[in-house]
Amino acid sequence: MPLNPQRTIAELKELRALTGDENGAQRVAFTPVWVRTRAWLKEKLAGLPVETHTDAAGNFWATLPGESDRALLIGGHMDSVPNGGWLDGCLNVMAGVEILRRINEQYRGRPPVTVRLVDWADEEGARFSKSLFGSSACSGQLDMAEARGLKDRQGIALPEALKAVGIDFEKVKDSGVELRNAAAYLELHIEQGPVLLDLDLPLGAVLGTFGVERHAITFHGQAAHSGSTPMNRRKDAFLAAAKMSAESYAIAARSGTGVCTIGSCTTKPGIVTSVVEECRITLDQRHLDAAALGRMLADAKSASERFAAEGNVRVTWERLWQIVPRPFHPELIELCDAAIKKICPKSHRLPSGPLHDAAEVCGAGVPTVMMFVQSLHGISHNKIEDTKEEHLALCVTAFDRLASKAMEWVAVRKR
């Protein structure tokens, strides 16, 4: 087999030298460095008989046509957050390039099914605080009204920024045509968390991406002098809110694999000599199972009402954002697990807490699976993000095997 994982590692290092600095990767979408990254990627594909183009949403596609127009898609994103890690997103794309080389060689330029590599545009949403831009435009799930109003810190609107790189915002959903013959979608990614690290395993099969319920919870009490108000006479909004902290850990524990985060807490009047009149916290809840996520939310609501009643305060809820869980395709999860076990003694199945472009493709109805490789330190979106080189080589090999099996799967599966 001509697959050469060491070449992928060397290319990732080359990319790091070209697009990073002492603070990390600087491939923020739609910037000159990102444009240069794309040009570099095209050079890497130059020796292959692939058709390449950029779609209406700025996603870059490289297609190796096969006997059948049914297509296996391999995806990733070359963009990074500012001061990002050297592997997030580009590992997926560069492994895909190597797999295209192997498939092209093995089938002398004509594989049984079409194989397509996609570099999604602006996965990170670093500039406009809107993740998964290119893939959500392609899947049709992008909220056009919301996206039209997004502005960066300089006040530049998203449609204006897109125009500067030749993309017409009003037409971005035309990119949906790219999924017409999509029969399966594969994405490799660093885990970005510590699960595989703690298990001392290099690779894992991803079960899907978590659904998210994100709310602001506000407790309304009464401001009162901190010296003159006896403890039993207080309507302390902070006391009720604080009880939610411990409760969120209990709710997560009861849910099995769900997580809850109270990430923000603000108080009014917010002075040292007053009982808190108003306390606003944010609660982010995630689970792979929609029913379990619903129970987590209902539990949090009833707990907040109980704590409000105990403290003689009122509580109000406001939904900030939500997304449904995206469980991946069961047969592709099996193939992924088997591909890992072929080269590692053990595999592990885990959900993804972070969202990925795979969630959008899955939401568009394309059978999808992801493979995770261990992150050292369990850290991402940081220049210290890293993975052992031996694990990088393993993941390219295992992902290539998954691609082979997925091609067979696509070839025999009915439309």
Segment interacting with Zn ion, rule: CB under 5 A, options 3-11, 14-22, 86-94, 194-202: 86-94
| DSSP 8-state secondary structure symbol assigned to residue 376 | B
Q: Which is nearer to Zn ion, 113 or 126 (CB)?
A: 126
Q: Is 385 in the site for Zn ion (CB under 5 A)?
A: no
Helix axes 32-45, 5-19, angle to 10 degrees: 150
229 to each of 234, 240, 275, how far by Cα in Å?
Answer: 7, 18, 9
3 state DSSP class of 115: strand
Q: Is 79 in the site for Zn ion (CB under 5 A)?
A: no
Q: Is 75 in the site for Zn ion (CB under 5 A)?
A: no
Shortest distance (Å) from residue 123 CB to Zn ion: 6
Shortest distance (Å) from residue 195 CB to Zn ion: 16
State the number of binding residues for Zn ion (CB under 5 A).
2
Segment interacting with Zn ion, rule: CB under 5 A, options 82-90, 110-118, 139-147, 202-210: 82-90
- Asked if 55 and 106 count as a contact pair (C-beta separation under 8 A), the reply is no
- Asked if 93 and 76 count as a contact pair (C-beta separation under 8 A), the reply is yes
Which residue's entry shows tokens 């850290």?
Answer: 379
Shortest distance (Å) from residue 139 CB to Zn ion: 17
Q: Is 191 in the site for Zn ion (CB under 5 A)?
A: no
Please enumerate in sequence order all residues whose Cβ is within 8 A of that of 55, keeping only pairs 6 or more positions apart, or say none: 61, 138, 174, 175, 177, 178
Tokens encoding 187:
């994405």
Q: Which is nearer to Zn ion, 87 or 366 (CB)?
A: 87
Shortest distance (Å) from residue 196 CB to Zn ion: 16
Q: Is 351 in the site for Zn ion (CB under 5 A)?
A: no
DSSP 241-305: HHHHHHHHHHHHHHTSS-EEEEEEEEEES--TTB--SEEEEEEEEEESSHHHHHHHHHHHHHHHH
Distance separating alpha carbons of residues 267 and 253, to the nearest angstrom? 28
Q: Which is nearer to Zn ion, 175 or 375 (CB)?
A: 375
Q: Which is nearer to Zn ion, 88 or 98 (CB)?
A: 88
| DSSP 8-state secondary structure symbol assigned to residue 146 | H
Q: Is 89 in the site for Zn ion (CB under 5 A)?
A: yes
Among 11, 55, 79, 88, binds Zn ion (CB under 5 A): 88
Please give the angle made by the CA atoms of 330, 288 and 294, to the nearest 5 degrees. 130
Q: Which is nearer to Zn ion, 111 or 351 (CB)?
A: 351
Shortest distance (Å) from residue 8 CB to Zn ion: 16
Q: Which is nearer to Zn ion, 121 or 244 (CB)?
A: 121
Dmax over Cα atoms in the chain, in whole Å?
85
Q: To 10 degrees, the CA torsion angle through 231, 233, 234, 239?
A: 60
Q: Which is nearer to Zn ion, 124 or 299 (CB)?
A: 124
Segment interacting with Zn ion, rule: CB under 5 A, options 48-56, 85-93, 196-204, 222-230: 85-93
Q: Which is nearer to Zn ion, 139 or 218 (CB)?
A: 139
Distance separating alpha carbons of residues 152 and 156, to the nearest angstrom? 5
Q: Is 247 in the site for Zn ion (CB under 5 A)?
A: no
Q: Is 325 in the site for Zn ion (CB under 5 A)?
A: no
- Which position's Cβ is nearest Zn ion? 89
Shortest distance (Å) from residue 127 CB to Zn ion: 15
Shortest distance (Å) from residue 131 CB to Zn ion: 9
Tokens encoding 343:
């080269």
Q: Which is nearer to Zn ion, 37 or 114 (CB)?
A: 37
Q: Is 187 in the site for Zn ion (CB under 5 A)?
A: no
- By CB under 5 A, the residues from 267 to 306 that bind Zn ion are none
Binding site for Zn ion (CB under 5 A): 88-89
